[in-house]
Amino acid sequence: MREYDEETLQGVQSAELEILREFLALCDRHGLRCFGIAGTGIGAVRHGGFIPWDDDIDVALPRDDYEKFLVFAKRELAEKYQVMNFEENHNYPLMTTRLMIRGTEFREYALKDIDCPLGIFLDIYAFDNVPDDEGLFRRQAWSSFFWSKMLILRSIPFPVLGFKGIKAKMVHACCFLIYAALKVFRVPKEYLYRKCYESVTRYRDLNDSESLDYLCDTDPYMNLMKREDIFPLAYHDFCGLNMPFPNNLHDHLTRMYGDYMTLPPEEKRKNHFPYQLKFASGE
């Protein structure tokens, strides 16, 4: 893991905390259901805020609330923040949205060659309805996973992997071949995004299904949560903010990380250390 000096990391965390504060305020104004997930949940439970070495905040909303949020954010926060997702810029290769501070730069090594503005950000995920039928769910999950990875490989020949060694070299070789084929045959990014969006939202009217999921992660099942384990939301302190989380946060974190209360060894402590970083002028 590349390491920040303490002052820089605190500056990044402070900027992200301000984005979170305004994000939560906007969601509260408009009655949007939002909740922290993943490492942000660990930070809240284990540290009362950021994991000490972490440099990002992950939040999620059900799809309908997520799309309402995008409308409100562009209307009410545009002076200070920029909304970044594929629909805003077709060079952005992910199915998430970033709420970024204007006038800043935060470009991870994984995205260093992507031709779109990237600033200090809040990572925002859309959780979609998934069917209760196991066969239908698996087809939706793997279709979404496939198209989201094709969208990434259309722009990034060597994506970040969670493992190393010969296995990583073999996977990267396959990724490069797919990247090259997509480029040679000029497969439109818009086509890949549309196929992925159609897949993740296939059951958007199925509001009585048992579960929700963010289907475009490194594993399409890792974010699967039952509605009753999300709502009603529970609140935890996050750096002095009263932040909503799934009511069964323990199950969500255990599914993703196992024993999340034990600190990982130093070599497994991950962050998004930037290739380029610039704070807003005056900071």
* pLDDT tens column, 35-64: 999 999 999 999 999 999 999 999 999 999
Task: Give the confidence band of 283 by pLDDT, cuts at 50, 70, 90.
Answer: low
Give the CA diameter of the chain: 54
Task: Give the confidence band of 168 by pLDDT, cuts at 50, 70, 90.
Answer: confident
Mean pLDDT calculated for residue range 18-40: 98
Q: Which two tokens stand for residue 228?
A: 């009753």
Whole-angstrom distance, CA of residue 37 vs CA of residue 165: 30
* pLDDT tens column, 256-269: 999 999 999 988 88
Whole-angstrom distance, CA of residue 207 vs CA of residue 238: 30
Strands 211-213 and 225-226: antiparallel
* pLDDT tens column, 75-134: 999 999 999 999 999 999 999 999 999 999 999 998 999 999 999 999 999 999 999 999
> What pLDDT does residue 157 have?
94
Task: Give the confidence band of 2 by pLDDT, cuts at 50, 70, 90.
Answer: confident
CA angle 36/99/44 to nearest 5° reads 25
Integer angstrom CA distances of residue 41 from 48, 73, 88, 147, 241: 9, 23, 28, 28, 13
Predicted TM-score (pTM) of this structure: 0.95
Whole-angstrom distance, CA of residue 241 vs CA of residue 229: 22
User: Other CB atoms closer than 10 Å to residue 5's CB: what's the count?
Assistant: 8
> What pLDDT does residue 247 have?
98
Q: How far is CA 67 from the centre of its chain?
A: 15
Which run of H or of E encompasses 99?
A: strand 97-101
* pLDDT tens column, 5-16: 999 999 999 999
Average predicted confidence (pLDDT) for the chain: 95
Whole-angstrom distance, CA of residue 150 vs CA of residue 175: 9
Closest CA to 124 of 50, 195, 19: 19
